Amino acid sequence: MKRTHNCGELKLSNVNQEVILQGWIKKIRKMGQIAFIDLRDFYGITQIVVSENKQELIANLKPEYVVAIKGKVIERKSKNLEISTGEIEIDVIDLELVNKSELTPFVIENEVEVSEETRMSYRYLDLRRQKIQENIVLRAKVNSIIRREFEADSFIEVETPYFGKSTPEGARDFLVPSRLNKNAFYALPQSPQLYKQLLMISGFDKYYQIVRCFRDEDLRNDRQPEFTQLDMEMSFASAFEVQDQIEKVIKKIFLEVKGIDFKEKLIKMPFKEAIDLYGSDKPDIRFDLKLNSLNDIFANTQIKLFEGFKENNLSIRGICVEELLSKKQLEILTETAKQKNFNNLAFAKYESGTWSGSIASSLSDSEKEKLIEKFNIKDKATILLNVGKYEKISDMLGSVRNKVAEILNLTDPNDYKLLWIIDFPLYEWSEEENRYVAAHNPFTMPNIKSIEDFETNKENAIADSYDLVLNGFELGSGGVRITDSEIQQRMFEAVGLDDKTIEQNFGWFINAYKYGAPRHAGFAFGIDRVIMLLTHSESIRDVIAFPKNSKGIDMMNDAPSFVEDKQLNELNIKTIK
């Protein structure tokens, strides 16, 4: 039988037509001498009616069997307007069994109670669920929008190599041994960063690519060892022009996918402001709960927890929740603080002139008055606070702030707040290496404010870089590139790279800049993460067709796996047992 229609397209206008459908049996229901089959394919579900004299056709059928059905379209007496075919059904003339199915390890339904391990082991069955299929379809739509928008603006899609050179900067590389070049390794790209900059030197004015990237790092719900990103670069362009281009694309995605029209320009928040107000460089601005510095209020405090904070150059910071938090809620928030290496979370409750809480008895009248004024407390509130190094206390309270929002349901999942974070630090301190390292990469241009002393004033040096943030998630990062050889040399020296290391790792790249390079800037954002947020998925694994689990394992085929000694010998590799 040759299919004439799919299971999601037949309507009342097709009544009395003879059709052939093919698909999976979702469900079989018997009502007296008549049977009903819900036939499912990629496009939808159609109800099939098997009359009394046709029962032998379905005698041995079971769920998930694949069948072809010939029948006549008739109007349903009991209509189901929740599905596109709910006004019609098919009166069976003939049925052909295409393929049988064993009993599936879980029911093919949107909401199914089964472990993720089982779902990932049978991902081909998990992908039959409408919810997961819709995620993959939406992903394809977003990719289509991206390509359409960039091509309309004269960007050229260029594929860059997967096999490249390993460099010491950035995250850990996935290495690929070369059989033809003894003891040598390729590295899978963490991004096409260097290649896209070379394309600008090559004269390609505007480049973009939807590209697979690889990072050997610890995983979590919004990370995979291999991931997909939109990568772009523009010649003769400033940070502002790149941001405008990305804004245009991301706004188009939201308009076509969610029906949300962002008319206003996105706000641009400096990194320092984000840390000061929200305790994060990827703030969720759907709710308030801003952080406040309280050093002045507690300048002469008797609270033991805060003793000596001025002498030790520490900061007292806090947030105010306009509710009286329960003991259980405070325990959850304290656990959040402990995850950031703080032993406790101080709190003070206020209601109708009465104070209580862990530090309430030690608060002076002056401190109480100033706290009421500082947080503009009207009726009742819980103040959460602690003391520590400015960066660490801000980071901890940023996490507590997000946890408060989760506990009190302060965010609407259908409310989307986009913003740019700008003026990032050029360097970050590495505890492991006990030195400053490039915060993004050593090819990011210092901000004009730091161009004179970025190699000596590392603590305050600012980069000409920017992140796009959505609802507490970093969507992507970008920056202006160094094209001046003198500035590039100063940057290499600032991060401790000697001439030998520079030549060994980046010589091939630096050499290109001797032949005339335009000023250029670019950006990249993670498509997996964007889709996860658009679909309200709990894990990035739900928006990738064949993902790895939290240990980087493909549960279907058990990759990574051991290989034969013969293969290792060809690569000149020995394994340690």
Which stretch of DSSP H or E encloses residue 67?
strand 66-75
Whole-number Cα distances in Å, 33 to 58, 90, 577: 12, 17, 65
- Phi, psi (rounded to 5 degrees) for 344: -155, 180
Please tell me whether 169 is known to bind a ligand. yes
For residue 440, say whether it is annotated as part of any ligand binding site. Answer: yes
Q: Confirm whether residue 203 is marked as ligand binding.
A: no
Q: Rounded distance, CA 32 to CA 25, Å?
A: 20
Annotated binding-site residue? 503: no
Q: Is 48 annotated as a binding residue?
A: no
> From CA 28, how far away is CA 97, in angstroms rounded?
15
DSSP per residue, 445-494: PBPGGGTTTTTT-TTT-BBSEEEEEETTEEEEEEEEBP--HHHHHHHHHH
Residues 6+ positions from 354 with CB-CB distance below 8 Å: none
Quick one: DSSP state of residue 330? H
User: How many residues are there in the chain?
Assistant: 577
224 is in an annotated binding site: yes
The annotation status of 147 as a binding-site residue, yes or no, is no
In angstroms, the CA 189 to CA 182 distance is: 21
Amino acid at the residue 249? V
Distance of CA 82 to the CA centre of its chain: 32
CA distances from 561 to 225, 227, 419, 555, 557 (A): 16, 20, 42, 11, 9
Q: Is 217 annotated as a binding residue?
A: yes
Q: CB neighbours of 326 closer than 8 A, spacing ≥ 6? A: none
Q: Amino acid identity of 485? A: S
**Residues 534 and 413 sit within 8 Å (Cβ to Cβ):** no
> Does 536 carry a binding-site annotation?
no
Name the CA dihedral angle for 175, 179, 184, 185, rounded to a multiple of 10 degrees. Answer: -10
Which residues make up each annotated binding site for L-aspartate?
A: 169, 215, 440, 481
Which residues make up each annotated binding site for ATP?
A: 215-217, 224, 474, 526-529
Which residues make up each annotated binding site?
A: 169, 215-217, 224, 440, 474, 481, 526-529
